[in-house]
Chains A and B, each alone.
Chain A
Amino acid sequence: MFKLLPDNAATTVTVMVNGKTVSVPQGFTAAAAMLLQGNGATRTSALSGEGRAPYCMMGVCFECLMDINGEPNQQGCLVTVTEGMRINAQHGKRMVAE
């Protein structure tokens, strides 16, 4: 769904996206690393089970909730990647605001 433009001098960081090792430029967010991997769902709704993916990329929609380093319900678009980060789609986990 997304690709990197050329001419990027940023150093790279190696992360695991859904179990696959990928290199991404420093400063990437976990959600951006997911987008680079394709257009699939990055979470499934706990209610209907339908797939969802990052929608706003600025922290307001909460569609990018994912499992980061074993912790579910992280807003992937607000988490900057670090070396060795494990980023996984999450299935059916419920997060309740109130």
Chain B
Amino acid sequence: MSPPFDLAIVGAGPAGMAAAMTAAELGLSVAVLDEQPEPGGQIYRGVERLAATRPNHLAWLGPDYAAGLELARSFRKAKVEYLDGAKVWQIEGTSAGRLFYKRHSAAGILTAQKFLIAPGAMERPMPVPGWTLPGVMTCGAAQTVLKAHGLVPQGRFVLAGCGPLLLLLATQLVRAGIKPAAILETEINRWTALPRLPGFLAAPGYLGKGLGLLRELKAASIAVHKGVTHLAIKGDTQAREIEYTCGGATRTEPVDLVLLHQGVVPNGNLAWSMRLAHEWDDAQRSYRPVLDAWGRSSNPAVLVAGDAGGIIGAKGAEAMGRVAAFAAATDAGKISAGDAGERANAARAEFAKHRGARPFLDALYRPQQQWVAPPDADTMVCRCEEVRAGEIRRLVTDQLCPGPNQMKSFVRCGMGPCQGRLCGLTTVEIIAECRGLPVKDIGYYRIRSPIKPITVGDLATLDVPRRDDAVGL
């Protein structure tokens, strides 16, 4: 087993990298574990390799992506133990603790005084009829392959949904010479967002960037159908057509590929598996761990930073990563609380600037009910175990399953390999709707470790005696 670290960080996105560098500078011994082969997280995915092999693609992806290069390069130089390609499957402990991971087909354990989890965001599940067909992916997936691999859609494709990422992806593709056949923009909430506009206008750069994207799409004559209230993807063995309703009319278009997006939410399974206290964030329509101003969670050994603690964006995540590192340094006795308070000021001010833009964005793109609780009975909710919306509704109205965990035991909803990542929010939204209760009263799945697939063979490679309760099997 490796010697204990002062701080073990999960995730090498902006929050994790910034936290690691700050903590190392303050004299903490730091380990960083990340699932990807390169630092950057999803937002700066593959940025070092792209700069080395496809430098002209940086211009299409834009300066916000290119900014990740500097961060990744500084991170590489920092005095931290960086374990790339490491899948963390469990963390246990409340004062110091152990972290279990799998890397290069061997399992490992690492001990640390403190943990900072920064697993970032994932796209909100967007269950519509036909979303399980091959030829349907998320906008984030298309952006990932653009960044990481230089892959772009071929054939006739549409983007459907709403949110900044959808507009950014469309623009990046247009710059690369790849035009979507259409953008089917689901209804956005201009009127509820309007009163929150001042904070957005005060946040540096946000308005200019947003308008810039819209201008570029307009100049490229991309067809944007606004106010879409219904979507259905059709096909036999793959997506062939998309049906959409807007302005009261329903139309169908042929497609080879559909890219869905309905905003991003915290990537929560690690936090849930550690039983961190969570709260419902109604503005972002998702759960998030309860955190203090330093990122401290309900578990004294665990800090959370970045989008995993509530969606804030890359720059805000980076700032919050630094703040959390000051907290870890205080707890490790490297700096005084007063010193931490002072040093964290700049990062806090930076965070506040980005936080200021959120209420407007959250309100503008807060998903409508039909995208979080699909009205059509046949729509798949749990993709892994193939549980449909109608079945979930029936189990609630028949009073067999008042909550998400009964749904698991009754129909295995959320029990497949993704462990509820792609159905959790949908399931609780449907239950809440059926019972006429707010989602916060419905709770969430009880997520258990291991949160990554682990085999008995993997466990055999652990270099300490196995404690049965430790591996959660």
- Residues of A near any B CB (own CB < 8 A): 1-5, 7-10, 25, 27-29, 32, 35-36, 39-42, 45, 47-48, 50-63, 65, 73, 75, 78, 80, 95-98
Residues of A within 8 A of B238 (CB): 39-41, 51, 53
> How far in angstroms is the closest Cβ of chain B from A85?
14
**Closest residue on chain A to residue B422 by CB atoms:** A61
A-contact bits for B295-328, CB 8 A (1 contact / 0 none): 0000000000000000000000000000000000
- Comparing B142-150, B160-168, B216-224, the segment that makes contact with chain A is B142-150
Contact: B151 with A2, CB < 8 Å?
A: yes
Which one of B122, B134, B153 lies within 8 Å of A41 (CB-CB)? B134
Instruction: Tell me whether chain B's interface is mostly helix, strand or loop, or mixed.
Output: loop
Which one of B36, B148, B151, B453 lies within 8 Å of A4 (CB-CB)? B151
- Comparing B50-58, B245-253, B278-286, B347-355, the segment that makes contact with chain A is B50-58
> How far in angstroms is the closest Cβ of chain A from B13?
11
User: Interface size (B, Cβ < 8 Å)?
Assistant: 54
B417 part of interface (Cβ distance < 8 Å) = yes
**A40-B134, A73-B453 known; A63 vs B383 contact (CB < 8 Å):** yes
B108 part of interface (Cβ distance < 8 Å) = no
CA distance A42 to B134 in the complex (A): 8
CA distance A61 to B269 in the complex (A): 12
> How far in angstroms is the closest Cβ of chain A from B94?
24
A-B contact pairs, 24 of them (CB 8 A): A1-B155, A1-B257, A3-B151, A5-B152, A5-B176, A8-B54, A9-B52, A9-B53, A9-B54, A25-B53, A27-B49, A39-B134, A39-B135, A40-B238, A41-B134, A50-B132, A53-B135, A54-B141, A59-B35, A61-B418, A65-B417, A78-B87, A95-B453, A96-B417
A-contact bits for B28-45, CB 8 A (1 contact / 0 none): 000000011100001000
CA distance A7 to B422 in the complex (A): 35
Contact: B144 with A8, CB < 8 Å?
A: no
Residues of B within 8 A of A63 (CB): 383
CA distance A36 to B150 in the complex (A): 11
Contact: A78 with B35, CB < 8 Å?
A: yes
Residues of A within 8 A of B415 (CB): 96-98
CA distance A58 to B139 in the complex (A): 12
> How far in angstroms is the closest Cβ of chain B from A97?
5
Residue of A28, A54, A63, A96 contacting most chain B CB atoms (<10 Å): A63
Contact: A7 with B386, CB < 8 Å?
A: no
Of residues 339 through 398 on chain B, the ones whose CB sits less than 8 Å from some CB of chain A are 383-386
Contact: A53 with B134, CB < 8 Å?
A: yes
Q: Known A-B contacts: A25-B53, A39-B239, A59-B35. Give 9 more (CB < 8 A).
A: A4-B150, A8-B53, A10-B53, A54-B137, A57-B138, A60-B418, A80-B37, A97-B416, A98-B415
B399 part of interface (Cβ distance < 8 Å) = no
**Closest residue on chain A to residue B150 by CB atoms:** A5
Residues of B within 8 A of A58 (CB): 42, 122, 140-141, 144
Which one of B36, B140, B141, B151 lies within 8 Å of A36 (CB-CB)? B151
Contact: A27 with B46, CB < 8 Å?
A: yes
Contact: B54 with A1, CB < 8 Å?
A: no
